[in-house]
Structure 1
Amino acid sequence: MKEKARYTLVILLGSLLTFGCDQTPTDTQLKNGLEKDVSYLAADELGGRAIGSEGEVKAADYLADQFQKIGLDPKGTEGFFQPFTVSKPTNPHEEAVIGTDGEGITGRNVVGFIDNQSENTIVIGAHFDHLGMGGSGSLHRGDSAIHNGADDNASGTAALLALAKILKHEKHNSNFLLIAFSGEENGLWGSNYFVKNPTIDLSTVNFMINMDMVGRMNEEKTLAINGVGTSPSFNPVFDQVNSDSLKIVTSESGVGPSDHTSFYLQDLPVLHFFTGQHEDYHKPSDDSELINYDGLLLVVKYIDRLVDQLDSEPKLAFTKTKDSTGDSPRFTVSLGVIPDYLYDGKGMRIDGVSVDKPAEAAGMMKGDIVVQLGDSTIVDMMSYMNALSAFKKGDETTVSFERDGQKIEAKIVF
């Protein structure tokens, strides 16, 4: 009798464990997973995850293993992997050739699929590569060092895994294609290769969501969403799903220095999520202990609600944004500042100042708000770029900026 009771208890416990594993993860489970994933991807052992490196291979293997544990279907060309090779030209005026033939640097996209038996698919992506030991993209001044890229972009990659865990247990009208891209830091190589060699029919894609640098949410809980002009369906839903009182800052352009651009150029609606620039960007100091995991969880939950809302609508219409015609300002000089892309006031607020650049020489500091450059009044980022495009190396001008309510004027030499 005791044996039978013990056997029944074992069966019941087993059933409870199985039932528990099949539930949408709790906030605590999601946050713990985010910390675990960022800590692994941004560890020194992965050496900065530069494309073609041993660390990038380890990161890709880790992601494929996580996709399998979550229960995603493989959707690469080799299981979860989509390898590609990039041949860099000897002529600096020629573009890199991205394909699978020839010699060069080999990277791997990691691709998983949630099949809901739908005609439409939502793509969610994040790049997992970084700068390795630095190189030309680094803003570090000093000896070579590992650039762990915790915010850029272990944060977005961890958010991708968290969303996979959630979406796997939710009922949706659309399928989901989840992609971790490699080669983003070198020029959107992985996403460029994918859209030209897709593992699903791109005509079935409803829209694409990209998460790049979503791990450093500030105290105001600001979340930037770029690409909102790429479909008329986007803007009406942002406030509807904002149950966590986030400060949403939007921009219309579908073009930017991240992987959503590759999809936008295929005439697909895109959204890029971003929690802001910071002084650790592209430096060895971008480490996992600086990540705001509570804020990262808020980003994940917001995107989940947004996807749920958009998925209840008909397939989204695509619209081109203004800058797609190639009329964005081009400039050959730099002030040497990191703009605060989350600032929505008048002017261009500075989030960081580079050493040995014109801004530092003029005494400018983080938090200063540029309101005048030469003869141009600065009201936003676009007016700042337009003003900058009028100058060339060696030009002198004046810059006016506000600090603590006081207006300061300084001389600038480019």
Structure 2
Amino acid sequence: MSRNLLLLSVFFIVLTSCKQEVQKKVTLREDVAFLANDSLQGRETGTPYEKEAARYLEERMRSIGLLPKGNAGTYFQTFSFKPKNDPHAEVQFVDGDSTITGTNVIGYIDNKADKTVIIGAHYDHLGMGGEGSLYADGEAIHNGADDNASGVAVLLQLAAKLKDTITQHNYLIMAFSGEEMGLLGSNYFSKNPTIDLSKANYMLNMDMVGRMREDKTLSISGTGTAPIWGQVLNSNNPGFKLVLSESGVGPSDHTSFYLQDIPVLHFFTGQHEDYHKPSDDFDKLNYEGMEMITDYILSVIYDLDNDAKLAFRKTKNESEETPRFKVALGVMPDYLFDGNGMRIDGVTDGRPAAVAGLQKGDVVIQLGDSTVTDMMSYMRALSIFEKGHATEVIVNRNGEKIKATISF
């Protein structure tokens, strides 16, 4: 047994022995350190390593004092599916040969209330890489500390604090499986719920909340799904630089609940150079920022506690307007940038942007004949090019306009 695995086993045994000690304090750092440890091999859906993570979450929920709300009186809701050959096809939830089984982990706080708040975060990740990985040097463990051990750690802190507070809501606390394969766990739950979804007031999703920047930028999506969201988020803001987006549809698990006509919010601190790479490790997370986000979400929950059930509102599906690309620049956009242009948050070696000399921090303000004012205009400009094309790009680098030639 490796030293890392031995340490994790000891921690797991200690945690299990404390099942009845509801007051036991486990920190954000400790939860992330367990989930993002090499011994869990990247928590890929359906693997023994994901199941080990599920058992850890089961014990954490039990130690907090959550009631089991999975299937058959357990904390687990399993679902089996066939991997998709066509990325645009709908997943088939079936049992039988050639299937993968994922495991949602679900706990419940029963305050005997008429309304329930659903709070979730996905705990699966990419395993050794494969499809979805941005790592170019072969197989390696993708620990997914920010994506999304960070969200799960905040989820557990919220559960512990809500457990000790009697409010006018019940709380469903859910760690999703299968998010990286297409929001599978949340999709399955939304169609096979273990509570009455008609009593669900709203859903909060934490996905990648571990890398808050110095300027305290926090992205929140779904703000158009209930009329009251903007008011509540701004009035409780402790000093975040909020970047708000109305759409209830996005590449994370809140989408599954929005499609069931439930108001949603998705909290996100932004992408970074370690996204979907083995370098997304626990020592790079901003734990103080995660504490701030936890307290902020709690204040929002408490503010809404005595209000009537939130009114659901449909929003424009921004993903339907996203242009399709035949080429890529080879950069990581800064999705939290709210200035003029598209800020580059990372450059991939050997790709067109790197070859042209573009750098992290450059702000693309023109691509070909198109002026770039934001992310959408950047994507529209990029969508007209094909492999073999070349064009001029202009970037703002610390106030200086730099021209370069991009060859796709």
When the two structures are superposed, what TM-score results if normalisation uses the length of structure 1?
0.89
* Counterpart amino acid of residue 366 in structure 1: K
Corresponding residue to 1:312 among 284, 297, 306: 306
SS at 1:280 equivalent: coil
SS at 2:235 equivalent: coil
- Please give the per-residue CA displacement for 1:158-180, whole angstroms capped at 9, x wherever unaligned: 11100000111122211111110
SS at 1:84 equivalent: strand
The answer (yes or no) to whether the contact 2:273–2:346 under 8 Å persists in 1 is yes
Matching residue of 2:191? 196
* Counterpart amino acid of residue 222 in structure 1: T
Tell me whether 1:251 sits opposite 2:245 in the alignment.
Answer: yes
- Please give the per-residue CA displacement for 1:262-284, whole angstroms capped at 9, x wherever unaligned: 11122221111011111111111
Matching residue of 1:151? 146
* Counterpart amino acid of residue 255 in structure 2: T
Determine the C-alpha separation between the residues in 2 that align with 1:218 and 1:399: 28
Tell me whether 1:285 sits opposite 2:279 in the alignment.
Answer: yes
Matching residue of 2:78? 83
Matching residue of 1:122? 117
The answer (yes or no) to whether the contact 1:331–1:389 under 8 Å persists in 2 is yes
The answer (yes or no) to whether the contact 1:99–1:193 under 8 Å persists in 2 is no
- Please give the per-residue CA displacement for 1:267-322, whole angstroms capped at 9, x wherever unaligned: 22111101111111111111111111111111111111111112232111122222
Matching residue of 2:225? 230
Determine the C-alpha separation between the residues in 2 that align with 1:229 and 1:149: 29
Tell me whether 1:303 sits opposite 2:290 in the alignment.
Answer: no
Determine the C-alpha separation between the residues in 2 that align with 1:129 and 1:92: 19
SS at 2:106 equivalent: strand
How far 1:330 sits from its partner (Å)?
2.5
The answer (yes or no) to whether the contact 2:344–2:362 under 8 Å persists in 1 is yes
The answer (yes or no) to whether the contact 1:22–1:169 under 8 Å persists in 2 is no
Determine the C-alpha separation between the residues in 1 that align with 2:54 and 2:109: 19
Matching residue of 1:260? 254
* Counterpart amino acid of residue 376 in structure 1: S
- Please give the per-residue CA displacement for 1:126-184, whole angstroms capped at 9, x wherever unaligned: 00001111111111121311111111100000111000001111222111111100111
* Counterpart amino acid of residue 340 in structure 2: K
The answer (yes or no) to whether the contact 1:85–1:102 under 8 Å persists in 2 is no
User: Using a 3 Å threshold, how does the CA distance of structure 1 residues 54 and 271 change in structure 2: closer, same or farther?
Assistant: same
Matching residue of 2:236? 241
The answer (yes or no) to whether the contact 1:358–1:412 under 8 Å persists in 2 is yes
Matches within 5 A, 1:100-115: 100=95, 103-115=98-110
The answer (yes or no) to whether the contact 2:249–2:319 under 8 Å persists in 1 is no
Determine the C-alpha separation between the residues in 2 that align with 1:317 and 1:174: 16
Matching residue of 2:18? none
Give the stretch that moved more between structures: 324-333 or 395-404. Answer: 324-333
Determine the C-alpha separation between the residues in 2 that align with 1:37 and 1:358: 39
User: Using a 3 Å threshold, how does the CA distance of structure 1 residues 173 and 93 change in structure 2: closer, same or farther?
Assistant: closer
* Counterpart amino acid of residue 297 in structure 1: E
Corresponding residue to 1:382 among 376, 397, 400: 376
Q: How many residues align?
A: 387
* Counterpart amino acid of residue 231 in structure 1: A
Determine the C-alpha separation between the residues in 2 that align with 1:391 and 1:156: 37
How far 1:331 sits from its partner (Å)?
2.5
Matching residue of 1:357? 351
Determine the C-alpha separation between the residues in 2 that align with 1:370 and 1:181: 36
Determine the C-alpha separation between the residues in 2 that align with 1:293 and 1:352: 23
How far 1:94 sits from its partner (Å)?
4.1
Identity of aligned residues (%): 57
Runs of at least 5 residues in structure 1 that lack an aligned partner in the other structure: 1-20
How far 1:256 sits from its partner (Å)?
1.3
- Please give the per-residue CA displacement for 1:95-121, whole angstroms capped at 9, x wherever unaligned: 431245554111100011111112211
How far 1:93 sits from its partner (Å)?
6.2
How large is the RMSD of aligned CA atoms in angstroms? 1.8
Corresponding residue to 2:205 among 185, 204, 210: 210
The answer (yes or no) to whether the contact 2:22–2:64 under 8 Å persists in 1 is no
Larger radius of gyration: 1
* Counterpart amino acid of residue 84 in structure 1: F
SS at 1:59 equivalent: helix
SS at 2:27 equivalent: helix
Determine the C-alpha separation between the residues in 1 that align with 2:85 and 2:234: 49
How far 1:56 sits from its partner (Å)?
0.3
The answer (yes or no) to whether the contact 1:88–1:95 under 8 Å persists in 2 is no
Determine the C-alpha separation between the residues in 2 that align with 1:386 and 1:270: 28
The answer (yes or no) to whether the contact 1:371–1:400 under 8 Å persists in 2 is yes
